[in-house]
């Protein structure tokens, strides 16, 4: 994967850019040299910081650069071929993780330790600063807890950046302890919060279905637990879209009037306050409300007049 502002020197030579032109760029400061790269001011500084250390981003960090939905995590994940020594400074390095948000690459969070992925490769697979997505997911499958790896795989499938057979090939090469649970990955999960909550329910043996259509056949629920418990999972860490907020509440009311129990979980509840969230979800499950069927029949159209005799008598 190419990154704006970072170009491998062999590719610059292949483009037939003359040595004199490159030397003029270097003198003017419009280009700097970081072996084996040429760097321009547009390059994300924290990606450049990794290249200076002799490593390249992978796993969660590279997955974000590829545009996948990524869960929060600590550490900056990098890799190198086994015959390349990244240098002693890597052990003490602290890098701000780089993430892609709204189509732009920008540093996020605080300084994080570097997590080095060992590699059986003898040399770099290509001249790109970020490896291909298949290699990124292969690293993630060996590094991450299964649910976090599943978030990346399901995001890749949902976005259509990898086909099912490509994902199956990556999973088939993973160790058995990871390969078996990852056989459950789906292509219809629309966010990492949805994947995380669904996997939690499945691991506890509760019946759950993804992306089930509303009774009107036009809209879909994120998760349907049992017969009537709908869980909607917000995918955004920050919420600033009034139209989306209004549409979400309209969906909730439409389901409630049909007899569904609707629970809306935020990104923060799933990833920052999960222990409390888990206990509350278990309390609902223990009451068995998900086993109650929804209300049959038509939904009011808005023209009916609902009269309360007690109110009228007052």
Instruction: Give the tens place of pLDDT for each residue, 170-179.
Output: 999 999 999 9
Residue 37 in this model has a pLDDT that exceeds 50: yes
Position 220 scores a pLDDT of 86
Tell me what the pLDDT averaged over the chain comes to. Answer: 85
Looking at per-residue pLDDT, the higher value among 243 and 305 belongs to 243
Strand order in the sheet with 112-117: 56-57, 76-79, 112-117, 94-95
Of 137, 124, 131, the C-alpha closest to 81 is 124
- Report, as an integer, the average pLDDT of 87-115: 74
- Report, as an integer, the average pLDDT of 14-42: 90
Residue 302 in this model has a pLDDT that exceeds 60: no
Position 85 scores a pLDDT of 67
Residue 23 in this model has a pLDDT that exceeds 70: yes
Looking at per-residue pLDDT, the higher value among 152 and 242 belongs to 152
Map out the domains of the chain with their CATH numbers: 44-182 (no CATH), 192-291 (3.40.960.10)
């Amino acid at each position: 994967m190419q990154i704006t502002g970072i170009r491998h020197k062999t590719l610059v030579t292949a483009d037939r850019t003359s040595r004199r032109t490159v030397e003029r760029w270097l003198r003017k400061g419009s280009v700097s040299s970081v072996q084996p790269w040429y760097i321009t001011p547009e390059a994300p500084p924290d990606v450049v910081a990794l290249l200076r250390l002799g490593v390249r981003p992978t796993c969660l960090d590279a997955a974000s650069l590829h545009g996948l939905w990524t869960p929060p995590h600590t550490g900056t994940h990098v890799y190198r071929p086994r015959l390349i020594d990244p240098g002693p400074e890597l052990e003490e390095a602290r890098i701000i993780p780089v993430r892609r948000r709204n189509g732009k690459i920008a540093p996020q969070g605080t300084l994080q330790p570097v997590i080095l992925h060992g590699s059986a490769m003898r040399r770099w697979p290509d001249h790109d600063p970020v490896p291909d997505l298949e290699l990124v997911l292969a690293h993630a499958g060996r590094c991450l807890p299964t649910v976090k790896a599943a978030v990346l795989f399901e995001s890749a499938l949902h976005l259509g950046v990898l086909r099912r057979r490509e994902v199956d090939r990556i999973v088939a090469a993973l160790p058995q302890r990871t390969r078996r649970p990852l056989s459950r990955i789906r292509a219809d999960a629309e966010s990492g919060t949805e994947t995380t909550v669904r996997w939690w329910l499945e691991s506890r043996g509760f019946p759950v279905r993804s992306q089930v259509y509303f009774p009107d056949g036009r809209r879909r629920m994120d998760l349907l637990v049992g017969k009537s418990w709908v869980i909607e999972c917000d995918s955004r860490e920050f919420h600033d879209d009034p139209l989306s907020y209004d549409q979400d509440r309209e969906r909730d009311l439409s389901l409630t009037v049909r007899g569904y129990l609707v629970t809306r979980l935020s990104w923060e509840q799933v990833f920052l306050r999960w222990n409390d969230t888990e206990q509350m979800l278990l309390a609902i499950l223990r009451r068995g409300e998900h086993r109650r069927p929804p209300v049959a029949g038509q939904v009011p159209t808005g023209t009916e007049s609902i009269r309360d005799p007690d109110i009228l008598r007052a």
